[in-house]
Amino acid sequence: MAAQTKQKRLISKIAVLIGLCLGAIFAGFPVFWMFLNSFKPNSEIFAFPPKIISDNFTLAGYHEIFSNPEKIRFFTNSYVVSISVTLLTLLVAIQAAYAFSRFDFPGKSTFNIVILSLQAVPPITLMIPYFGLMVTLKLYNTYQGLILTYMVFTLPYAIIMMTGYFNTLPRELDEAVKLDGGGALATLWRILVPVSIPGIVSVGIYTFMISWNEYLFALTLTRTQEMRTVPIGIQLLMGQHSYEWNEMMAMSILGSLPVLVLFLFFQRYFMGGLTSGAVKA
Amino acid sequence: MLHRLLGKLSSKKSKKVGVLRCEAGGSHSAAQPILLGISEKLMRRGCPVSASSLLRDRRGTSSLTILKKNLEPYAFISPTILLLVVLMVVPVGLVIKYSFYDNVIVNQFPKFVGLDNYFAIVKDEAFRIALVNTSMLTVGSVLAHLLIGLSFATLLNSGLISNFSKALFRMIYILPWLFTVAIIAILWRMILNPNGVINYILTTVHLTGSPIEWLSNEKTALLSVIFINIWAGYPFYMTSILAGLQGIPRDLYEAATVDGASAFQQFINVTLPQLRPIIISMTMLDLIWTSQQFALIWMTTGGGPMTATEMLGTYTYKLAFSQYQFSQAATSAVVLFVLSMLLAFFYVRNQKARD
């Protein structure tokens, strides 16, 4: 009897492992292939039969990017825009979330519903009037234009998630300070914010990811080469000369690095914070 | 983590609050004029702090203070409102207006044409194809996302494997989520290339005689695009479902085991009902997002070949930025907007019901 259950357990374990490995091929193979191809000379990308590891291992793809100031500029732009969006979104969202979590005011539930539904506005719908609007506001082809645009898409989510986070903190925590003569602003920044670091980190990472990855607005709201971000830069590699696949793969790896690093360091916040926020929202 | 922090904080509370009172008074007087423009004198109180301030009665405060109190939440949300009105509400209003006019943007004085643009759109065959393709992409992706997300999360949550393997596989499974659309598009164009690795495998095991042009063949393009979208999107479900699975109380399963329920029955009768709220939220968000998908299609097939992978997003974009038919483009954008808002209505209602 005991031996039988043990055997049964072993069989299930093997089944689970086989399932996991099949899943890993589906999920991981394309990424693995990208990584390998970034070290091949361009002529061997489509070699027949495919070479797992090239005999002519080369860093040419990477070298090409690092030696070209124009391409480094894509990265600088992406970093400037994404970091600004992240900090500004947090600053604005934390204040709004505080109001939603700790105050009762006329119109609160309307604002709440509007913010929830704004998450669903299709970017392409905004696109048509945006061009004119950005030119009028003198924001076309500037960092400010991109930063403000991205904030429109990151704010609703950030506010919802931060409100959810503040709601989990007991009101007594800040009420005591308030009664004590500390104003609302002080209460927020000195009491709530320090306790909410895990939530803030999650929102920050998510915001950074959205801005780092954005494509449509980066494409239409910038005109000159020196304003382009990484996603557009990768696309530009496709048209210029013949396809430099190895270079594109190298740029893809480099372009994914910030998000990969964030993920490695803050994995816990990714899995827990993000999802509980999304679910709580 | 949070509890630990809270515990630490409350143990220090008495001491900390005392310090805060002074600092709070100072920082407030600086921030106040910016926020509300109300005399800062009112705020300069309680520093140095007397014990009686703790017991101060609210009735004693002036009407100005009450007004300030009432305006406070609006001050906190005003930057958000300002930004969202200027860059979200105004453009949406404009695009709706455009859809009722002729030759907008190009012509300085467009003519009001009522619903003409809408009739023109509905009569356009490309629009109808785009609508059908968008539905196929959306339904196909959402179903597959759910199925794959659920399977991977269940596998990862299995009690039979070690924590190390769990962490390793979870890491691999989440990979597609960490790449931007531009990269995903290029990656799959390389893999699905006629001389690419997928065709090599298929021809080697003789599943197909000649290499398939996955993305430029009318028969396979839509399926390929759906497949790529599935690959790119399932981790979002997986992580949420995994978090949900870990939140299901163990005793529910123990009770089911006592009742003699098989693993499959437990999954149907315990796991699924417990995950229902998460699954509904995810599905609705995914329906909204996938129906708006533009970037991935644009960078893999551009909507082609012919109209094989034309979506509402690419159709709208082409009308606007390659044909300069801004009125029709605005109309199509409004259709997409209304569809999204309809889905959002159910999403919001569902979220509110859960609160």
* Residue of A120, A190, A281 with shortest CB distance to B24: A190
Q: Tell me: do A20 and A74 sit in the same domain.
A: no
**pLDDT tens over chain A, length 281 residues:** 567 888 888 888 899 999 999 999 999 999 999 888 888 888 888 877 777 777 778 888 898 889 889 889 999 999 999 999 999 999 999 999 999 998 899 989 899 888 888 888 999 999 888 888 888 889 999 999 999 999 999 999 899 889 988 988 888 877 777 767 777 888 888 888 988 888 898 899 889 988 999 999 999 999 998 899 999 988 888 765 567 888 888 888 999 999 888 888 887 776 654 444 443 33
Give the pLDDT confidence score for residue B69 in this predicted structure: 76
B95 to chain A, minimum CA–CA distance in Å?
A: 6
Asked whether residue A53 is assigned to any structural domain, the reply reads no
CB contact under 8 A, B180 and A185: no
* pTM listed for this prediction: 0.84
CB contact under 8 A, A198 and B1: yes
Q: Tell me: do A80 and A22 sit in the same domain.
A: no
Q: How far is CA B116 from CA B101, B307, B314, B318, B338, in A?
A: 9, 24, 22, 20, 18
* Least confident piece of the model among A45-59, A66-80, B253-267, B333-347: A45-59
CB contact under 8 A, A95 and B348: no
Q: Tell me: do A76 and A205 sit in the same domain.
A: yes
Give the pLDDT confidence score for residue A52 in this predicted structure: 76
A139, closest residue in chain B (CA to CA): B87
Q: Which residue has the higher pLDDT, A116 or B316?
A: B316
The answer to whether B104 and B98 have CB atoms below 8 angstroms apart is: yes
Asked whether residue A126 is assigned to any structural domain, the reply reads yes
* Residue of A95, A179, A230 with shortest CB distance to B54: A179
A88 torsion bin: left (phi>0), alpha (psi -120 to 50), beta (else): alpha
Q: Encode A82-116: b = buried (16+ Cβ within 10 Å), e = exposed.
A: bbbbbebbbebbbbbbbbbbbbeeeeeeebbbbbb
Q: Considering its fold, how many domains does chain A have in total?
A: 2
Asked whether residue A226 is assigned to any structural domain, the reply reads yes
pLDDT greater than 80 at residue B21: no
User: Which of 52-71 (B) contact A at CB < 8 A?
Assistant: 53-54, 56, 70
Residues of A with Cβ-Cβ distance to B34 under 8 angstroms: none
Q: What are phi and psi of B111, to 5 degrees?
A: -100, 140
Asked whether residue A215 is assigned to any structural domain, the reply reads yes
Q: Chains A and B: how many Cβ contacts under 8 Å?
A: 327
Q: What are phi and psi of B112, to 5 degrees?
A: -75, 125
CB contact under 8 A, A213 and B288: no
Give the pLDDT confidence score for residue A239 in this predicted structure: 67
Rounded to whole angstroms, the Cα distance separating B211 from B198 reads: 9
Range of the domain at A33: 2-37
DSSP string, B319-343: HHHTS--HHHHHHHHHHHHHHHHHH
ipTM of the complex: 0.88
Asked whether residue A251 is assigned to any structural domain, the reply reads yes
Bridge partners, residue B102, by sequence: B111
B116-354 carries CATH number 3.30.1330.40: no
Disruptive mutation site among A128, A177, A235 for chain B (greatest number of B CBs within 10 Å) = A128
Structure tokens at A55: 């005999």
Structure tokens at A179: 């009664």
Give the pLDDT confidence score for residue B57 in this predicted structure: 44
Asked whether residue A62 is assigned to any structural domain, the reply reads no
- B90 to chain A, any CB pair closer than 8 A? The answer is yes
Pairing of strands B111-112, B101-102: antiparallel
User: Which of 91-110 (B) contact A at CB < 8 A?
Assistant: 91-92, 94-95, 98, 105
Q: What angle do CA B305, B308, B313 make, to 5 degrees?
A: 100
* Residue of B91, B190, B348 with shortest CB distance to A133: B91
Structure tokens at A103: 């105050």
Residues of B with Cβ-Cβ distance to A12 under 8 angstroms: 160
Q: Tell me: do A92 and A33 sit in the same domain.
A: no
Asked whether residue A43 is assigned to any structural domain, the reply reads no
Domain residue ranges of chain B, discontinuous segments joined by +:
116-354
B285, closest residue in chain A (CA to CA): A120
